[in-house]
Each structure stands twice: as structure tokens, then as C-alpha cells.
Amino acid sequence: MYPRRSSPRFGIVFLFLIGCLFLFAVRLVLIQIFNSAFLANLAKKQHNRLIILEPKRGTIFDRHGRPLAINLPVYSLYANPKSMSEANKDRAVEILSRQFGFDKSFVQGRLDKEKYFVWLERKMPQELYEQIKAYKLKGIEFIKESKRFYPNKTLAAHVIGFAGVDNNGLEGMELHLDRYLKGKEGMSQILRDAHQRELLIEKNYVAPQDGFNVTLTIDETIQYIAERALEAGFKKHNAKGASIVVLNPRTGEILALANQPTYNLENSSTANPENKTNRAVVYTYEPGSVFKIVAASAALEENTAKETDVIFCENGSYKVGNHYLKDHDPLGNLTFKEVIEQSSNIGTTKIAQRLGPDLFYKYAHKFRFGIKTGVDIPGEVGGWLKPPAQWSKTTIGAIPIGQEVTVTPLQLAAAIAAIANDGVFMKPYIIKEIRDSRDQIIESYGPQAVDRVISSQTDKRVKEILRGVVENGTGKKAQIKGISVGGKTGTGQKVEGGTYSHSKFYASFVGFAPVENPRLAAVVVFDEPHPAYYGGTVAAPVFQEVIDNSLKYLSTLEANGD
């Protein structure tokens, strides 16, 4: 028998198989050693979907538990382009653009991305979600989120501020308290099969932590009363801007704070930046005659004058340094009390001259002018109060009548509240408490006395003088039937190009009521009202309406046991 000779064909096949085996081995080594991390990550992306679980942003309440800012569930639209065929993409682009008004090029651009997740529309209206869902578009999916809503639209806009699409605070209390309101994100992973179908199997679940709830000192009803009256006055007097602050003088709680112009919190992105500015705490101005409360308080406290002292007002013209000081009308002999009632610049300057720069500055500083009040509202500025070392020969005839000094409306409100509060300055505040999702108190805030500005005995005398301003003087339009009111008017000239304007003014009124036991104190300021511009004509009537209606409201609350 002869041995069988191997066929060349067999050798070729054998070598081919050996070569393939070698190539497979090399490929396997490359995959296992050099590409394993990449391929494992790719598989993970294909079969694991990471979902960020958004926490519920905390609610902002008014002092009575009425919601001012809340989160409601909504749906967002996204796509998984990697799971879509070209036909799927074309259908989605056509339907979303034609039926629902989406920008065609935007949708096409998003679907052309080689990604497993792209946003198409965040936080849609419920109706739009339901309509798109009905089309059952392949690769087009929804995720449940939450959206910030402001049920009262413009109410307390400058206090509350607003949050963005990702529930991050951007203005006002929303920004200031974002670390409390926002909460912490959670996460979950959903497994998917090779066809990108969710298997309803979760792993690595971390629950989100909802944000804390915040209660403000704001009273929704008083806020509404203040905003309505301020807006009407703003329009009536063709003003450039306006502010109002209402305080509880006993505690320093801010019950209402409003500005004009304002904006709708539901459409904050379209609002003019100036309309978003909280004028009451960030705008300063020369206050004019409302500042005379400092001279009156200091003179009585230091016994440099008393109510019955007669002061000659020079018939309307008085030289201070090289400057002639004028009154709005020529005035002769007035008592100290009448000087404040009739708002005489000359009479007030003579009262301040008895005090001298150092004593006057001391009391202006005790009223917290020239420094921040410390209110828990972001952006507060402190205004400007020159120390005596910087006074010129004419300053004694300027600062006491509200010139060469700048203040914010909030500073004025806090100062008049100190007079309403027996001479004790209370730190104004607007945050009442912060609670977690289990309603446990995390932080709480209460009244904080800062300083006694004047004695209780002096304070009673100042209150009576300010009562006279409303009953007999420039503040008659602040009178409330059946309720005693104390206050002071102010008309300040605006400075333009280094000189005082004769056509642009600030009109102000500060006051409190009832005089015997003040429950409310407030400031009203108008920027460039015209043609009327006197504080007693423009600002006092707004004060009257707000305080009258607010006191009636508070009486109703008490009658109902609230």
C-alpha cells in the first residue's frame, strides 16, 4: 500500500483557517486589552438610560400660608436620534413643524446628532404634551419635570423674583434663597434592550430631595392694596417710577413692597431689565422735606428747641454761607411745630444750626441713614450721608432739608417706623421662616431691635408734630376719616449736570397710623411725576388709600379671629 499524498487544496484551506484563527486571536486581544473600556461604555450607553430626577422646588408663601410661587408637574419633549431611522426622523420633523409650529431646521438639526438624548422642548403646556403624544412618534419621548408658576402674575414681583427653566433662582427671593428652595437632584438608571425598548427595570436609584418651603412676612392682601393704589397714582401722575413699602412698626416686618413699572413673573424673559429692578432697595435719591423728621427729633431730644419756640423764617429768603435758601412761600414767624407742619426750609435750617453738624449727623446716623438697614433682601444699598468733616459752609442748610444726602425708600420707611415704634429702630425683614418637606422649621426669624433713636417721651412729642402735619399742614391729603395719621411730605429736586432741576422732582410721603397706637408705617415715593409734583399732592393720597384699606382689612382679620 502506498501512503496518501496531501492535496495542495487541503494545505491552502488549513493555512487559511490558521490565518483566520490568528486574526481572530489578534482582534480579540485588541478588543480585550485596548478597546474594552470604549466598547463597554458604548454598550452601557445603548442599554442603560440615566435619568436625572428633578426635585420639587419649595413653595414661597405669604404670612398666612397663601402660595406666591409654586411648582406644578409638566412634561418635556426629547428625542433619541440613535434609535430613529431616516423615515422616523423625517416624519417627526414634518409633524412637529407643521402641526405644532416647531422650527423645522432646529428639529432637523437636533435629530441629525449622533446621540441617545437631545432636548426638543422643555416644560410644555399639558395640552401640547397630549397632542404630540397622540402621534406616537418613534424615538420621540417625554420626561416628567416640574415648572415654576406664579399664581398672582405681577403680585410682589420685585420681592419674589423668578426661577429659570431648570428651576434655578434668578432674581429676588428665588435667587436669594435658592440654596433652600432648589433641593437636590436624584437619579435612576433604566435598562433597555437592543431595540432601545425600556424594560421597566431600575437600578442605582437615588431619590431626589425636595426643596424647603419659605414663608415671607408679606401679606398678600396688603400687597395687592398697595400695588393697586401705586399703579393708579403712577399712571395718573405720568411718573417715571414709583415705590411703596408698608411695615409693621412694632416688629419691622415688611407687609408690602411694590414698585412701578413692574413685570409679569410668568413672562419674565420678555420684561425690560429696568422693570425688574427693586427700586425700593437699590435706588437712592435726595429725599427733600421728609428728611426734616431728623432735625425735629434731634432738636427735641437734645432740648435745643421746643414746640412753642418762635422761629423767624425770614419771609422766604435766608443766606447760609454764600447761598440763599428759599421757602416754597414767604413765611414769617412760626412756632417750631408750625415749621415742620408748613415744611419751612429756613425754619428747619435754623433748628439744625442750633444742633450743629455733629449732633445732627449723630441722629441721622441713628436713624440708619448712610448705612444699610440690614434687610434680608438682595441688592440693598446704603445711600450717602456726609460726615461733618466733609461739610461745607452751606451743608447745614442742605442736609437737614433733604439735600446733599441720598436715601432709599426702604430706609425712609424704617426711619418713620422707628418714630411710630416709640423711638426704637427695628431691623426690617421679609423672611419669616423656612420649613422642610416634613413641615419642620429649619430657620425662623423675628423682630430685632437695633437702637433707641430717641426717648419714648421725645417720641410722643414728635408724633404729635407729625399729626399736625396731616391735620393742619402740607399732608392734609393723607387724612383718614376716624383715624389719626402722622406723617411728613417731601418734594425733592433731581440733580442734573451738577445742578438742581426746576422741572424734575421726587414726590414723597412717610407716615403711620393710628398715631396713638401705630399699626402700620409706610413710605410712598414717585420719580418725576408731572405736571403735579408735590409730595402732599402726589404721594399722600396713595398713602391714605393704602393705609385706610389695610387697617380695615386688619380689623376684619381680628374680627374673624385670624
Q: What is the mean pLDDT of residues 298-305?
A: 97
Query: Which of the pair, 165 or 532, is modelled with greater confidence?
Result: 532
Tell me the pLDDT band of 356, cut-offs 50, 70 and 90: very high
Instruction: Give me the CATH topology for the region 220-559.
Output: Beta-lactamase (3.40.710)
> Is CATH 3.40.640.10 what the domain over 50-99+109-194+205-216 is classified as, yes or no?
no
- Decide which of 32 and 293 is more confident: 293
Residue 88 has a CB neighbour count (10 Å cut-off) of: 18
- pLDDT band with cut points at 50, 70 and 90 for residue 5: low
> How far is residue 390's CA from residue 226's CA, in Å, rounded to a whole number?
39
Provide the annotated active-site residues: 289
3 state DSSP class of 371: coil
Report domain extents, the chain: 50-99+109-194+205-216, 220-559
Q: Which cell numbers in the block locate residue 206?
A: 437615588
Higher pLDDT, 83 or 446: 446
Which residue in the block uniquely carries the three cell numbers 429725599?
287
Banded pLDDT at 206 (limits 50, 70, 90): confident
Residue 29 has pLDDT above 80, yes or no: no
Strand 317-320 to 323-326 pairing: antiparallel
User: Sorting pLDDT into bands at 50, 70 and 90, what band is 1?
Assistant: very low
Q: Phi/psi at 144 (nearest 5 deg)?
A: -85, 125
Q: What is the pLDDT of residues 380-417, one digit of tens each?
A: 999 999 999 999 999 999 999 999 999 999 999 999 99
CB–CB of 541/511 below 8 Å? no
Q: Which amino acid is at 390?
A: Q
> What integer pLDDT is reported at residue 201 of this predicted model?
44
> What is the residue-averaged pLDDT of the chain?
90
Per the structure block, which three cell numbers stand in for 293? 423728621
Mean pLDDT of all residues in 203-230: 90
pLDDT category at 519 given cuts 50, 70, 90 is very high
Domain 50-99+109-194+205-216 shares a fold with domain 220-559 = no
Measured CA to CA, the distance from residue 269 to residue 437 in angstroms comes to 29
How crowded is residue 211: how many other Cβ atoms within 10 Å of its Cβ?
24
Decide if pLDDT at 35 tops 80: no
Ramachandran category for residue 82: left, alpha or beta (phi over 0 → left; psi -120 to 50 → alpha):
alpha
pLDDT value of residue 72: 84
8-17, 139-148, 276-285, 504-513: least confidently modelled range: 8-17
Compare 146 and 538 and report the one with higher pLDDT.
Answer: 538
* The pLDDT of residue 48: 56
Confidence of residue 200 (pLDDT cuts 50, 70, 90): very low
pLDDT band at 39 (very low <50, low <70, confident <90, very high): very low
CA dihedral over 462, 468, 474, 479, signed as positive or negative: positive
Total number of residues shown for the chain: 562
What's the rounded mean pLDDT across residues 477-495? Answer: 96
Contact between 75 and 122 (Cβ < 8 Å)? no
Q: Write down the pLDDT at residue 74.
A: 84
| Average pLDDT value for residue range 363-377 | 96
- What is the average pLDDT across 220-239? 98
Residue 543 has pLDDT above 50, yes or no: yes
Check pLDDT > 70 for residue 475: yes
Distance CA 463, CA 371 (A): 24
Digit-coded pLDDT (tens) for 78-98: 888 888 889 999 999 999 998
Residues above pLDDT 90, as percent of the chain? 70
Q: Is residue 352 within a helix (H) or strand (E), and if so which, with residue range? A: helix 345-355
Q: Looking at the DSSP assignment, which residues form a beta bridge with residue 256?
A: 246
Section 312-339 average pLDDT = 93
* pLDDT of 308 higher than 90: yes
The predicted pLDDT at position 38 comes to 53
29 Cβ contact list (under 8 Å, min separation 6):
none
Question: Which CA distances in Å does 97 have to 4, 106, 137, 182?
Answer: 76, 9, 13, 34
Structure confidence at residue 254 as a pLDDT band (50, 70, 90)? very high
pLDDT at 40: 53
- Kindly state the DSSP code that residue 134 receives in the 8-state scheme: T
pLDDT for the residue numbered 36: 59
Rounded Cα gap, residues 469 and 462, in angstroms:
11
Crossing angle of helices 86-100 and 126-133, rounded to 10°: 140
Please state which of the ranges 91-100, 256-265, 362-371, 460-469 shows the lowest mean pLDDT: 91-100
82 vs 284, which has greater pLDDT?
284
> Residue range 211-220: average pLDDT?
97
Span 128-153, average pLDDT? 89
Q: What is the pLDDT of residue 351?
A: 97
Q: Which residues, in sequence order, are CB contacts of 126 under 8 Å at separation 6+?
A: 74, 75
Q: How confident is the model at residue 194 (pLDDT cuts 50, 70, 90)?
A: low
- Concatenated DSSP letters of 500-531: EEEEEEEEEEEEEE-SSS--EEEEEEEES--S
